[in-house]
Structure 1
Amino acid sequence: MEIKNHVTGDYMNFNFKQRGWRASSAYEVKGEVYSRDGKLQYIVGGHWDSKIYAKRPEPGAEKFLVWEAAKRTEMMFHLTNFAAGLNAPQPHLLHVLPCTDTRLRPDQRAMEDGKYDFAADEKNRLEEKQRAARRAREEKNEMYNPSFFRKSIHPLTKDQYWEFTGGYWKDRAEGKLKNYKDIF
Structure 2
Amino acid sequence: MEFQPLGTVNVRLPRYEDHYRWNKVTTCVHNLFGGQRWVDQYGDLIITNNKGIRCKLNFAKASYWSSNRYEVVGSVTDPDGKLVHHLFGKWCEGLYCGVAPSARCVWRPGALPEDHEHYYGFSRFAIELNDLELSLVDVLPSTDSRFRPDQRLLEEGNVPGAEASKLQLEQAQRERRITNEQRGIKHQPRWFRCTASDSVADEDGEKWEFAHTYWDARAQSKFRDMNLIRLW
TM-score tier by shorter-chain length is 0.7 to 0.9
Structure 2 equivalent of residue 45 of structure 1: 88
Is the strand fraction higher in 1 or 2? 2
Structure 2 equivalent of residue 66 of structure 1: 106
TM-score (norm. length: structure 2): 0.67
Cα deviation, 1:104-125, whole Å, max 9, x if unaligned, reads 1111111111111111111111
SS in 2 for 1:117: helix
Cα deviation, 1:9-44, whole Å, max 9, x if unaligned, reads 211111122335578533211111111221101111
Structure with the bigger RCO (C-alpha within 8 Å, sep 6+) is 2
1:181 aligned to 2:224? Answer: no
Shift of 1:93: 3.5
Structure 2 equivalent of residue 6 of structure 1: 49
One-letter amino acid of the counterpart of residue 71, structure 2: E
Q: Distance in 2 between matches of 1:149 and 1:155?
A: 18
SS in 1 for 2:134: coil
Structure 2: gaps of 5 or more residues:
1-43
1:176/1:111 CA distance change after superposition, 3 Å: closer
1:100/1:155 CA distance change after superposition, 3 Å: farther
One-letter amino acid of the counterpart of residue 91, structure 2: W
Structure 2 equivalent of residue 109 of structure 1: 152
Shift of 1:181: 3.2
Contact 2:141/2:223, CA 8 A, preserved across alignment: no
Contact 1:6/1:157, CA 8 A, preserved across alignment: no
Structure 2 counterpart of 1:133, from 176, 182, 205:
176
SS in 2 for 1:53: strand
Structure 2 equivalent of residue 164 of structure 1: 210
Is the helix fraction higher in 1 or 2? 1
Q: Which runs of 4+ in 1 moved over 6 A?
A: 155-158
Equivalent pairs, count: 181
1:81 aligned to 2:130? Answer: no
Q: How does 1:150-161 map to 2 (within 5 A)?
A: 150-154=193-197, 159=202, 160-161=206-207
Structure 1: gaps of 5 or more residues:
none
1:18 aligned to 2:61? Answer: yes
C-alpha RMSD of the superposition: 2.8
1:61/1:26 CA distance change after superposition, 3 Å: closer
